[in-house]
Structure 1
Amino acid sequence: MDEEEVHIATGKNFRKEKANILWAAANFPRATIVLVHVHWPSKWMPFMGGKLLYKFADEKEKEMHRGRETEAMVKMLLKYKSLCDDTREVRAHYLTHDDILAGVVNLVKKLKIKRIVIGSRNMSKNAVLRKCSQVWVVLNGKYLSTSNDHLEHTGGTGYGGSSELLACIHELSEESDGYATPPSDFYVSFQEEDIVDEDGVIPLDSDEQLEKYDVQETEQGIEEINASEEVGKISDDEIRSSRNMNEESEKLMEEMDKLRRKLKELQDERHNHEESILSPRRKNVFLKEQTLPQQRYPELQIPEHIVQYSMSHIGKATNNFYSRNLIGEGGYGLVYKGKLGSMPVAIKLLRPHGKPHGRQGFPEYQQEVVVLSRIQHPHIVKLIGVCPESCGLVYEHLPNGTLMDGLSKGLPWKDRIRILAEQRSALAHLHSSRPHAIIHADLKLTNILLDAGNGSRLGDFGTARIVQMKPLEEDTICRRTNPMGTMGYMDPVFFTTGELTAESDVYAFGVVILQVLTGLLDLNIVEQVQEAMKMDAVHGLLDASAGSWPEVQAERLMRLALRCCNLERKRRPAVTSDADWRSLDILRTMATASKSRKWSHAIAN
């Protein structure tokens, strides 16, 4: 066999690429190792703690961003090169392209690659690539297959051609920091050992979890997953639709920014106008009114089954609000852990008037009492009592914190899927309540609480709204109100129109699903997943800290989550429709069945 060179397509999953490089070095001992890498340019860049579309940044920021990305990319390739011993010749080439597969094909044709090691089964099936080169499929250092065993390289013309493309293929320098990147190139950012970085970079591929699951699916005998292996392929129509959605999303974000600026201008004008028309005497009266003690909170009718506690009871339960009992703080106020008798509780206290958010607190308190006193559901937080003196709310205590805390600790995928199923049940219960449906309006990771066994409860109903159902239009749930909620989870249609609907909760739930599956918390997670779909790199997004995902079904759930986030409300699935949520139900069944088998096996032993 000719062992002049063996090329290895590298992504940014260091653990997987390390295994593949070492495999190639061991199996081609006399060959020169040539690493090839395709950069997929990110559309986003960091900006003031959030994200900014790349095209909206100024040129200086873009240039600095490119420089950082280039430096990180060179460090990654040098790290890959260092895996081989010093006696072997190792080279590296890279190319920037917005389609990873097309970029790999370009590299193969322009560099006249005869033999390439690839860690992606989907990519290895590409007919154009297989015609150009002999493709060795290696996953995590384990050889799977070889295509075109007797291929003779013809050196055909490139994929889009000409010397212009060849000039864009860069060879990493053997000296110092590597190749100096031309200003026209764009680079994505990554940390050397991360699978998905903070800028939402999608790796070349990630079949590590798929390989693990291949073994499991044989043991479990799940026929549907075997039959669904090709689900990940995306049609041209879907790609065009995804691009259109991205463009619409960008336009919508621009409009939202314009509305925010206009609102601020109007508020400033009104404030200046009021000050200008007040006489000096009236100004003094106005200032005195602002400094006078505010009237105590209005009296609220408390339902009979909700226990009323005095301030002294609350103080005793929290050891006089001892600082070590403080477990949280939000816009509403402080949250303390306490004990009423032998019952552990969480007590949320409204901020006093004059402090931040204090004036908005009473309506939230009122709303929580009204809503939570009406509903009972195993996965909705239970309101035990209230303290009318301080507008305090007493809940059951849930010791494992929020779902965001759980994700940061590597919550197993089986628990994640169960929690999503529980929260879908909670939302369905709210949306189907009669005669008044309830819209939560602020669903997010930090409002999903976990008990000692990681069972979930939906909490924080301060922004919830009760909507009168129309007997003949039960699918029409709508209420006009000021936009509220949390950016990133808020339905863009609600933000621009003020029309709060059940579909607004569905949008937020879609974002939660994507976060639970990927472990990513960025505001632009929807765009990141859409880009990954276009690049056929979905498997690389799944959060590896959750264990070995059933990837085919997880990808189907990810697609369903994107439907939840569709900008057209009519295309979003209803949480009350079992048919729409089959992918989540299948995953829940798989997780339950897997646990049952392990339990039965443990008993048998």
Structure 2
Amino acid sequence: MDEEEVHIAVGKNFRKEKANILWAAANFPTATIVLVNVHWPSKWMPFMGSKVPYKYANEKEKEMHRSRETETMVRMLSRYKNLCDSREVRAHYLTHDDILAGLVNLVKKLKIKRIVIGSRNMSRQVVLRKCCQIWVVLNGKYMSTSNDHLKHIGITGCVGSSELLACTHELSNRSDGYTTPASDFADEIIGEDGVIQMDGTDQLAMEAEQEKEESNAFAEVEIFPEESADQSDEMHSCRNVTQQAAKLMEEMEKLQRELKDLQDEGHNYEENILSPRKKNVLLKEMTLSKKRCPELQIREHIVQFSELQIGRATNNFSSQNFIGEGGYGPVYKGKLGGVPVAIKLLRARGSQGFPEFQQEVVVLSRIEHPHIVRLIGVCQESCALVYEHLPNGTLKDGLSNGLPWRDRIRILAEQRSALAHLHSSRPHAIIHADMKLANILLDARNVSRLGDFGTARVVHMKPLDEDTVCRRTNPMGTIGYMDPVFFMTGELTTESDVYAFGVVILQVLTGLLDLNIAKQVREAMKMDDLHGLLDASAGSWPELQAERLLRLALRCCHMERKRRPTITSAVDWRSLEILRSMSTGSKSRRWSLGS
């Protein structure tokens, strides 16, 4: 190096690094400022308002994610460079999964004589102290200088391994950057606050905290001026693909809304122009054509009804008895043997078919629980299902009508009990796979029942072996409630139900129905806005216990399945138990899964 240089190791905490850069500019007025950064590739990718492990993505998604990360890092360095407009400032970066090893590589490659570091932990690393003079500056304040490198002048191989130096490559002559080939990432730990921490390297934990604090700091940074044209084109292409994907999602949602409107209009049109006789004939042609479904073995306690019986029960499927409609088909209320019932008909050419009909019959015929909907009978000729009638609609309806918080907590406890019953069944556990507000039904006293078992799956369990509760299948369920790991891997587990239940808890406590509700709740809790987070229409919440339940719900929505609470563990669900006791005025802390 012909001229004097001072190198500054920079991370992602803009406030801290700005102070250190300005300190170096003031104390080395004639030196060229050279910024160096080790870019640690994240193991997580954004997905549905949260994050999912990088390993689950396909190669195209990984490449796009890495390009976005690199672009953000380059913009960050550009922002740092602009802090010293009147000075010559250069920047170098290196991609490596070990920050210490990467920094030592940069020191060796760039022949750095002295470096300013804003981390005590990193400045204490012997392997780094042997390579160059280290100036420790914390938040713009000089702390100390290390000259250990003077004892090792003439010693080669600072890193202690020639492999690290051999794998360092220059990206291009115009990029001012160096990179190492991708290698396996170290195992990471995620704290309750969502901060990623890496085992074995304190600097990684510090970098993750900095990333959380300064996540919005790079939005205004311009692209690194020295980057190559090819790299710039790649980044622009990545942005275009991301924008196109977002537009496609918006279009899909718009088309789904339009389709729903057209279906409603078509239903109303038929109701208005057809005579009662023609409507009944049309409905029978669509839903009661004989031999629609293969023969199914029905258990003895499930009553088998004829087409004539269910037709009479609904007054020939009168529009006055129409309750609603789902993916399976229309639902009508009626009476059979003087008992109010709900009859669900399989719609011709519907999104669901005989497999869902068969699955619901098989699952519900073997379940008996006070908070799971009761299957009374079936009509095999028309693939119709007959349930107990629950007059107060769905939990979603209840929230919109200002359901009191005491009822909400009781319903959550009831549904946790229902899931615990399903997951602990022996020898076949049952995974519901579509837990959501619309599938939780309420009777006249607002006591809840879990319904819609068309997507449920029965999984064989070995005695005392919880880890066997897993089944590979095509992703199914409802976006927003669906476990992202299941969506990307096809591995359905009991933890998938826990994820969906976590979303339900967040919705019940906040009244928010957004798909990215977990992200919204995390951000609100960081801002200490609990009072504004709880649904005021439910009354005066016990805020301390409600906050604990919200935190538990966020654990349910954790991307790492092992971090989610177990639905059958009373210890994990203590916060819900306490709230339930408070809602009933009971002093007892005992709670049965079957309650």
TM-score with structure 1 length normalisation?
Answer: 0.51
Q: CA separation of 1:490/1:256 partners in 2, compared to 1, >3 Å: closer, same or farther?
A: farther
- Which of 323, 327, 330 in structure 1 is aligned with 2:323? 327
Distance of 2:341 and 2:516 partners within structure 1: 36
SS of 2:466's equivalent in the other structure is coil
* Structure 1 residue 339 corresponds to structure 2 residue 335: yes
Alignment of 1:44-83 (within 5 A): none
* Structure 1 residue 391 corresponds to structure 2 residue 376: no
* Structure 1 residue 505 corresponds to structure 2 residue 500: no
- Which of 393, 401, 406 in structure 2 is aligned with 1:409? 401
Alignment of 1:303-452 (within 5 A): 303-352=299-348, 355-357=349-351, 360-452=352-444
Distance of 2:358 and 2:438 partners within structure 1: 21
- Name the residue aligned to 2:22: none
Q: What does the per-residue CA deviation read over 1:408-437, in whole Å, with 9 as the maximum and x for residues that have no partner?
A: 000000000000000000000000000000
Deviation at 1:472, TM superposition (A): 5.2
Q: What does the per-residue CA deviation read over 1:418-472, in whole Å, with 9 as the maximum and x for residues that have no partner?
A: 0000000000000000000000000000000000000000000000000000235
Q: What does the per-residue CA deviation read over 1:508-534, in whole Å, with 9 as the maximum and x for residues that have no partner?
A: 000000000000000110110011122
Contact (CA 8 Å) 2:290, 2:381: kept in 1 or not? no
* 1:485 partner letter: G
* 2:422 partner letter: L
Deviation at 1:595, TM superposition (A): 12
Q: CA separation of 1:343/1:239 partners in 2, compared to 1, >3 Å: closer, same or farther?
A: closer
Q: What does the per-residue CA deviation read over 1:200-237, in whole Å, with 9 as the maximum and x for residues that have no partner?
A: xxxxxxxxxxxxxxxxxxxxxxxxxxxxxxxxxxx998
Structure possessing the higher relative contact order (Cα contacts under 8 Å, 6 or more residues apart): 1
Aligned sequence identity (%): 74
Q: CA separation of 1:44/1:424 partners in 2, compared to 1, >3 Å: closer, same or farther?
A: closer
Distance of 2:243 and 2:501 partners within structure 1: 24
Contact (CA 8 Å) 1:239, 1:534: kept in 2 or not? no
- Name the residue aligned to 1:546: 538
Alignment of 1:187-206 (within 5 A): none
Deviation at 1:476, TM superposition (A): 3.0
- Which of 561, 572, 576 in structure 1 is aligned with 2:553? 561
Q: Tell me, which stretches of 5 or more residues in structure 1 are unaligned?
A: 1-42, 46-55, 57-159, 162-234, 265-292, 597-605
Distance of 2:509 and 2:531 partners within structure 1: 10
Distance of 1:311 and 1:239 partners within structure 2: 55
Q: CA separation of 1:44/1:447 partners in 2, compared to 1, >3 Å: closer, same or farther?
A: closer
Q: CA separation of 1:428/1:544 partners in 2, compared to 1, >3 Å: closer, same or farther?
A: same
* 1:400 partner letter: N
Contact (CA 8 Å) 1:386, 1:392: kept in 2 or not? yes
Q: CA separation of 1:472/1:398 partners in 2, compared to 1, >3 Å: closer, same or farther?
A: closer
CA RMSD of aligned residues (A): 3.5
* Structure 1 residue 240 corresponds to structure 2 residue 234: no
SS of 1:580's equivalent in the other structure is coil
Contact (CA 8 Å) 1:311, 1:387: kept in 2 or not? yes
Q: What does the per-residue CA deviation read over 1:331-361, in whole Å, with 9 as the maximum and x for residues that have no partner?
A: 1000000011210000000012xx332xx31
Q: CA separation of 1:536/1:257 partners in 2, compared to 1, >3 Å: closer, same or farther?
A: same
Distance of 1:256 and 1:416 partners within structure 2: 40
SS of 1:395's equivalent in the other structure is strand
- Name the residue aligned to 1:482: 474
Deviation at 1:407, TM superposition (A): 0.3
Q: CA separation of 1:341/1:468 partners in 2, compared to 1, >3 Å: closer, same or farther?
A: same
Distance of 1:426 and 1:455 partners within structure 2: 12
- Name the residue aligned to 2:296: 300
Deviation at 1:297, TM superposition (A): 1.7
Distance of 1:302 and 1:586 partners within structure 2: 41
Q: What does the per-residue CA deviation read over 1:66-97, in whole Å, with 9 as the maximum and x for residues that have no partner?
A: xxxxxxxxxxxxxxxxxxxxxxxxxxxxxxxx
Deviation at 1:245, TM superposition (A): 9.7
Q: What does the per-residue CA deviation read over 1:89-111, in whole Å, with 9 as the maximum and x for residues that have no partner?
A: xxxxxxxxxxxxxxxxxxxxxxx
SS of 1:579's equivalent in the other structure is coil
Deviation at 1:586, TM superposition (A): 0.2
Deviation at 1:473, TM superposition (A): 2.2
Distance of 2:390 and 2:418 partners within structure 1: 17
